[in-house]
Homo-oligomer: A and B are copies of this chain.
């Protein structure tokens, strides 16, 4: 998606350790006008799928998922990290390893919000090794719900997450796929 690639080139910063900082518009400060353009594109890409719910994971997926959901006219459920005393005992759980935070989280969704009648679009800001998305798929499969697809804003194409998901037959649509990036020159090459 050209608009997004332009924004990444303009405002993204490549850091050592294969980190792309896009915190000025995607995952700390959030440009909701841009998110609406992303939402339109996800709706175009998944128009043929009978999606009735969007699933994401806290925290940085939530804002994007909510704006995207407007274009599908469906509710959003976000998987929560760790247990809250506000949640009933009835929940699906999985474990997700975070690339960013270098730790493992217990992730939960209340059973009443994921059922076998649900057709789910997973939305997240980044796809790298795929741990978050695989955890969400695990939760969806525990509920007997259907994964209709995975919508990602930025995929690190040089990591294996996207390839493995697509090999499993899961439809993954990433609005920008980074082929390579160089923290010395700041250069970012996109896959097309």
Contacts and interface: CB of A to CB of B under 8 A. Distances in A.
Interface of A: 15, 19, 21, 23-25, 28-33, 35-36, 58-59, 62-63, 65-67, 69-70, 73, 75-78, 80-81, 84-87, 100-102, 109-110, 112-113
At the interface, is chain A mostly helix, strand, loop or mixed?
mixed
Contacts of A23: 86-87, 110, 113
A31 B75 contact: yes
Contacts of A33: 73
B86 A63 contact: no
Contacts of A66: 30, 32, 35, 62-63, 66-67
23 contacts: A19-B86, A23-B86, A23-B113, A28-B80, A28-B109, A28-B110, A29-B76, A29-B77, A29-B113, A31-B75, A32-B69, A33-B73, A58-B58, A58-B62, A59-B62, A59-B78, A62-B66, A63-B63, A63-B78, A66-B66, A67-B70, A84-B100, A86-B100
